[in-house]
Amino acid sequence: MTSRKKSDELFNRASVKIPGAVNSPVRAWKAVGAAPIFIESGNGATITDADRNTFLDYVCSYGPAILGHAHPSVMRAIAEQARLGLGFGAPTRLEVELAELISSSITCAQKVRLVTSGTEAGLTALRIARAATGRPNIIKFDGCYHGHSDSMLVRAGSGGMTLGQPDSAGVPSALAAMTMVARYNAIETVEGLFRAAPEKIAAVIVEPVAANMGVVNPDAGSLKALAEITRNNGALLICDEVISGFRLCFGSVAESMGIAPDLIMLGKIIGGGMPVGAVAGSAKIMDLLAPVGPVYQAGTLSGNPLSVRAGLETLSVLQETNPYAALDAAGARLESGLRDALKKTGQTGCVNRAGSLLTMFLGPERVRDADEARTSDSAKFAKFFHGMIDRGINIPPSQFEAMFLSTAHTNADIDRTIAAATESLKDLNAGGY
C-alpha cells in the first residue's frame, strides 16, 4: 500500500474551501468510497501524485491527452506561445488556422465557432438549433452527456449516474420539460417522440459513440435512421463529438460512419489539454451566430492563443503520425486481455470498446443502453478500482466512464494492466463477490 499522506492532507484542506474538495464532481472518488489522490505531474502514460507515487494513467484528463501527458512538442508550442501574451480580446491568426484545419477534416464543419468548454459548445449548439427551427424541444438519449447546461442535465450519464443523480436540482422544470429523453440504440423511442409532437422538436443531440455511460457503440444503422428522422421532420441532428472527435479517426466518427450531422460539437482533443470547445456546421446555420445573425454567443477567452496553439500542435501530430490504427490495436489488446481476465476469474461482465475508448462493466453480459449499464455492480467496481490503484493503475473512479488510451501507452503497459486487472478481479472472489 502506497503512502497517501500528502494527498490526504491536501484533501482535508480542499474539503474546507472547495465543495467536495474538487472542481468537477467526477474527480471525487465518491463512488469508490475514498478520498482522491492529488496529482502533481504527468509524463507520457503516467501520472505522479503528491506523495510521489506513479500510476499508469487511463483517465488521460478524460480524453484530451491522446498523445500522453506533457507531450514534448505540445509543451514546446505552449511555452513559445506564452511568451507572446495570453490573449488580446481580438482575433488571431491561430484561430483561423484551427478553424481551417477542423473544416478541412470534417465535411459538415464549413464554419467553426471556438468556445472554452464542451458545455459551452453544447449550449451554443442547442441555441442555434432552436433559432434555426423556431422550435423549443430537444431530444437527447438517456446516458449521453453533453455538458452541464440546464437543458442537458436530464438523464445525463456518467457524473449523474455515478452519484445517483439522473437530473440536477436547480433546473427549472419548465425548461427540463423541453428536453425529451430517448433510449440509446432504440430508434423506436425517437420515432415515438417525433410522432407525438413533430413540430416542436428542434434537434436530436447524440454521442455518435457513447462514452459517458461507459462506452456504448451505436447499432449499425441507428445513426443513419436518426439522420433520416431529423431530416424528414425538419429538425437538426447535433453530433456531440467532444470525446470522439479526432480520437477514433482524424475528424468526425459520425462522418466516418456515413452520417452528415447538421451541427457538430468538439472539445477535449482539439485543445491539446487546454480549455476549449467548438461548435461547427454549415455556413448557413453557423451564420445565425452574432455578429452575423441573431443568436448571441460570446466568450472573453474563447479561442485563446494557448488553447488554440496546443490544439493545433496536437492535431498536427495526429495528422502527421496517423496513430489511429495503432490506438485501435492497443485498445483491442486491452479488450481481449480484460475479457480473458473476466473469464479466468469467473467474474461476469462485458467489455465495450471503440478504438482507444473502453469500459469493462462488472455484472451485465451486454450493455447497449443506460438501463443495461445501470445493472452493473458499482460496489464490485469500487473494490476493483482500489485493486487497480493499489497496483499502480489509475482508471476512472466510476463504472460509467471510459478508460482512455494514449499513443504513449505501450504493449508492455497494457500487459501490466491486464495482469493487474486479473489480480484485482481475483480479489473480488476472495472478498465474497
Ligand X SMILES: *Cc1c(COP(=O)(O)O)cnc(C)c1O
Chain center to CA of 250: 16
Is omega for the bond preceding 291 within 30 degrees of 0, making it cis?
Answer: yes
Binding status of residue 242 toward ligand X by CB under 6 A: yes
- Selected from 29, 58, 141, 145, the binder of ligand X by CB under 6 A is 145
Give the range of 68-76, 95-103, 239-247, 382-390 binding ligand X by CB under 6 A: 239-247
Q: Which is nearer to ligand X, 242 or 350 (CB)?
A: 242
DSSP 3-state of 322: coil
Which of these is catalytic: 58, 145, 184, 324? Answer: 145
- In the chain, % helix, strand, coil (3-state, to 5) comes to 45, 15, 40
- Selected from 240, 372, 377, 413, the binder of ligand X by CB under 6 A is 240
Nearest approach, Cβ of 432 to ligand X (angstroms)? 35
Q: How buried is residue 258: exposed, middle or buried, by Cβ count under 10 Å (0-12/13-18/19+)?
A: exposed
Known catalytic residue at 380: no
Give the range of 116-124, 281-289, 403-411, 423-431 binding ligand X by CB under 6 A: 116-124
Give me the residue whose beta carbon is nearest to ligand X: 118
CA-to-CA dists, residue 50 to 37, 421, 430, angstroms: 8, 24, 31
| Grid cell for residue 48 | 505522479
Nearest approach, Cβ of 218 to ligand X (angstroms)? 13
Binding status of residue 207 toward ligand X by CB under 6 A: yes
**Cβ contacts of 69-73, under 8 Å, gap ≥ 24:** 69/41, 69/42, 69/43, 69/44, 69/45, 69/406, 69/408, 70/41, 70/42, 70/43, 70/44, 71/314, 71/317, 71/408, 73/313, 73/317
Binding status of residue 261 toward ligand X by CB under 6 A: no
Using an 8 Å Cβ cutoff, are 126 and 112 in contact? no
Known catalytic residue at 184: no
Binding status of residue 277 toward ligand X by CB under 6 A: yes
- Selected from 4, 127, 146, 247, the binder of ligand X by CB under 6 A is 146
Binding status of residue 253 toward ligand X by CB under 6 A: no
Known catalytic residue at 240: yes
The β-bridge partners of 354 are: 357
Q: Which is nearer to ligand X, 122 or 331 (CB)?
A: 122
Active site residues: 145, 240, 268
Positions that interact with ligand X (CB under 6 A): 117-119, 122, 145-147, 207, 212, 240, 242-243, 267, 277
